[in-house]
Amino acid sequence: MNDENNASELTEDEKKLFEDLMPEEMDEILDTGVNRRHFLKLMTLAGGGVLVAQSVVAEQLLIRPLSPLATEFSSATLENGVTVSFKVNGTTRKLMVDSRMTLLDTLRERLELTGSKKGCDHGQCGACTVIVNGQRVLSCLTLAASCEGKRVQTVEGLAQGDTLHPMQAAFLKHDGFQCGFCTPGQLCSAVALMDEAKNGHASYVTETVRKQAGPVQLSNEEIRERMSGNLCRCGAYPNIVAAIQEVHSGKPVEQTFRFSA
Amino acid sequence: MRPFTYTRAKDPSSAINQLAGNPNAKFLAGGTNLLDLMKEDIERPDELVDITELGLSDIKVIAAGPRKGGISIGGLGKNTDAANHALIRQNYPLLTQSILAGASGQIRNMATNGGNLLQRTRCPYFYEVSMPCNKREPGSGCGALEGINRMHAIFGWTEKCVAVYPSDMAIALAALDAVVKVRNASGQERIIPFADFHRLPGDKPEQDTNLAHGELITALELPKNNFADRSYYLKVRDRASYAFALVSVAAALEISNTTIVQARIAMGGVAHKPWRALKAEKMLIGKEATAANFKLAADAEMAEAKPLEHNRFKVELGNRSIVLALEMAMNGGKA
């Protein structure tokens, strides 16, 4: 790993700061440098005022860039390393991963794409939904090693620069979220769903599956059924359905939320 | 997750040979169940052989042989593609409905047709490694037998295991008299009739199927039938969608005038394998397709049910579900 240089760049004062505040993390910090988790912990402590005494040292540390994420592993450091190359949001990424690494962890921990969320990590919530080769899948149940040559699209790849994807704009307009944790998965799922409808896919609530005549117009009931793999603990479902219906039908949908009087 | 080696197989025979050389190796296809079980430390392979690039995903009409005019579905095709294929939607709408009743859009895009059959039970005692479970740890006992067994079996269980089999797709395949085509390390193919593919628990609940280690499911074959006009997959569950069945019924009827010529009924959520309701089917042959006869058939089947402490409701639910599924089938299988 290439982080030892960064670790050795810590000054004696900074080392003492970490030693005082997070002694249990010290070995790791010396070994691999300051990572995002350490940084967040430091921020939490700062928020709580614990840092006041060491404020000058801490301030210097907080304005320094974090260690670059370790994207380089070799077969010497990984027991079962697999080299894999795939496109993420249009850019080819080649890296060596532990065979156990899921696509979700690879996106989040190795490629700095933290939009895809780890909700349950067991394929039950849909928060990790990404689009692989045009199809929505669960990145928590996909091994990164199995993605060789594939095209991965994440929530970060939906917007064109500062122009939101129509689905993102519709989610904003219809308030299709509260805490937002499920939103990246909802968006990826909904975007891929639009293609499934264009391709005439059926669902369990489709009245007659034997009819197959091109693109299908989805009722709200159809949207609910087809989005059932994406849970929202805040219960923003009516607004999510409204947002998806607006993009799908191309016509404005009345906002379903109401402000209390 | 425990460490394992990962390789991408280039052709079916090398994949099969690789598995044959290691009893702790497993094929990796969609991975939707296997990876979850590995994270839970229930499945512990030390080698995964990725078979997703082997092809074996064609859906085509069978040109010759005992199932001529039927359809062959590649074992490594995706569930979504099978459900939406024009040949299947038109000729086997029961199969389409059953696939679409299972899991979510994302999971159906990942899961393969062969892998779907190999799903393991969702019994919470199987999933919780601190509890006894003869399926996970042979000889450790069954936590569900005297535990919370609302979701469990009412047919075919033993004191060793009361778990139920989770797939929806397999229930329709059972009703449609599918066969499973598998290939072994010596390159031989064998045909397993669907009724013999999955097992009842007996004394060996750890063994879900009669598939041998290293055998690869290459295709599922469906014989031609006359059920397309009158079939329906009914799934009853705790949520409207994305939940496993309490009870499900795959029903298919062939009618001549008003008389039932052929009847197929298979149930999910009630046993360790897809449960063919043979008694009910037999009752219906030659009878008029009326609600009263459907009820008599359901009564005959459910009379044999042996519920556990918390799943007594499944007997009445199963009875009504058989009747409703047959009525929906008579109505053209409309949702």
- Name A151's bridge partners: A87
What is the DSSP code (8-state) at residue A157? G
> With an 8 Å Cβ cutoff, is B31 touching chain A?
yes
pLDDT reported for residue B123: 98
> With an 8 Å Cβ cutoff, is A204 touching chain B?
yes
**Which residue in the set B4, B50, B96 is minimally distant from A209, CB to CB?**
B96
Nearest CA in chain B to A201: B84
Distance from CA of A71 to the nearest CA of B (A): 20
- DSSP notation for A173-208: HTT--SS-TTHHHHHHHHHHHHHHHHTT---TT-S-
> Nearest-CA neighbor of B1 among A229, A80, A74?
A80
> With an 8 Å Cβ cutoff, is B3 touching chain A?
yes
A123 and B4 within 8 Å at the Cβ level: the answer is no
> With an 8 Å Cβ cutoff, is B8 touching chain A?
yes
A175: alpha, beta or left? (left if phi > 0; alpha if psi -120 to 50)? left
Distance CA B35, CA A103 (A): 12
| Amino acid code (one letter) for A171 | F
Domain residue extents for chain B = 5-52, 231-330
**Which residue in the set B5, B109, B241 is minimally distant from A99, CB to CB?**
B5
Span B217-228, average pLDDT: 98
In the predicted model, residues of chain A with pLDDT beneath 50 are 1-8, 65, 67-70
Question: Domain B231-330 carries which CATH code?
Answer: 3.30.390.50
B106 and A189 within 8 Å at the Cβ level: the answer is yes
pLDDT reported for residue A260: 65
A121 and B39 within 8 Å at the Cβ level: the answer is yes
A228 and B242 within 8 Å at the Cβ level: the answer is yes
B89 and A200 within 8 Å at the Cβ level: the answer is no
Distance CA A201, CA A212 (A): 8
Distance from CA of B208 to the nearest CA of A (A): 22
pLDDT reported for residue A32: 62
Cα dist from B185 to A249, B194, B320, whole Å: 52, 22, 46
B242 and A148 within 8 Å at the Cβ level: the answer is no
Instruction: Output the six-digit token pair for A181.
Output: 């944790």
Chain B residues within 8 A of A129 when measuring between CB atoms: 106
- DSSP notation for B43-98: ---SEEEE-TTS----EEE--SSTTTTSEEEETTSBHHHHHH-HHHHHH-HHHHHH
With a pLDDT cut of 70, the percent of chain B lying above it is 100
pLDDT reported for residue A5: 43
pLDDT reported for residue A199: 97
Helices A36-47 & A55-62 angle (0-180, nearest 10):
140
Is the ipTM above a cut-off of 0.85?
A: yes
Q: What are phi and psi of B189, to 5 degrees?
A: -105, 145
Residues 6 or more apart whose Cβ sits within 8 Å of residue A11: A57
Helices (H), chain A: 4-8, 12-21, 26-32, 36-47, 55-62, 103-105, 166-173, 183-198, 220-226, 237-249
Are B329 and B296 within 8 A, CB to CB? no
> Nearest-CA neighbor of B48 among B61, B32, B29, B67?
B29
B83 and A202 within 8 Å at the Cβ level: the answer is yes
B6 and A142 within 8 Å at the Cβ level: the answer is no
> With an 8 Å Cβ cutoff, is B32 touching chain A?
yes
> Nearest-CA neighbor of B49 among B179, B168, B185, B198?
B185
Distance CA B99, CA B281 (A): 23
- Second-level CATH architecture of B5-52: 2-Layer Sandwich (3.30)
pLDDT reported for residue A257: 61
Residue for token pair 């994302």: B106
> With an 8 Å Cβ cutoff, is B259 touching chain A?
no
Residue to mutate among A186, A209, A232, with most B CBs inside 10 A, is A209
Instruction: Output the six-digit token pair for B169.
Output: 């797709």
Nearest CA in chain A to B329: A208
A80 and B5 within 8 Å at the Cβ level: the answer is yes
pLDDT reported for residue A21: 76
Q: A66: how many CB neighbours lie within 10 A of its CB? A: 12
> With an 8 Å Cβ cutoff, is A83 touching chain B?
no
Are B335 and B234 within 8 A, CB to CB? no
The burial of B134, by beta-carbon neighbours within 10 Å (0-12 exposed, 13-18 middle, 19 or more buried), is given as: buried
pLDDT reported for residue A240: 97
Residue to mutate among A141, A193, A220, A244, with most B CBs inside 10 A, is A141
A100 and B3 within 8 Å at the Cβ level: the answer is yes
Cα dist from A108 to A70, A72, A105, A136, B40, whole Å: 12, 15, 5, 18, 21
**Which residue in the set B52, B90, B241 is minimally distant from A228, CB to CB?**
B241
* CA geometry: angle B275, B279, B282, nearest 5 deg: 120
pLDDT reported for residue B184: 94
Residues 6 or more apart whose Cβ sits within 8 Å of residue A52: none
Strands B59-61 and B47-50, bridge-based pairing: unpaired
pLDDT reported for residue A1: 41
pLDDT reported for residue A3: 41
Q: What are phi and psi of B328, to 5 degrees?
A: -65, -40
Nearest CA in chain B to A99: B6
Residue for token pair 């499944």: B314
Chain B residues within 8 A of A209 when measuring between CB atoms: 89, 93, 96-97, 100, 333
Domains for chain A: give ranges and CATH numbers: 4-62 (no CATH), 81-157 (3.10.20.30), 166-249 (1.10.150.120)
Cα dist from B57 to A30, A63, B223, whole Å: 51, 54, 18
Q: What is the pLDDT of residues B107-150, one digit of tens each?
A: 999 999 999 999 999 999 999 999 999 999 999 999 999 999 99
**Which residue in the set A79, A212, A226 is minimally distant from B86, CB to CB?**
A212
B109 and A136 within 8 Å at the Cβ level: the answer is yes
Distance CA A98, CA A89 (A): 22
pLDDT reported for residue A4: 41
Instruction: Output the six-digit token pair for B93.
Output: 């709408």
Chain A residues within 8 A of B3 when measuring between CB atoms: 79-80, 99-100
> pLDDT at residue B281 above 90?
yes
pLDDT reported for residue A92: 98
* Domain pair B5-52 / B231-330, same fold: no
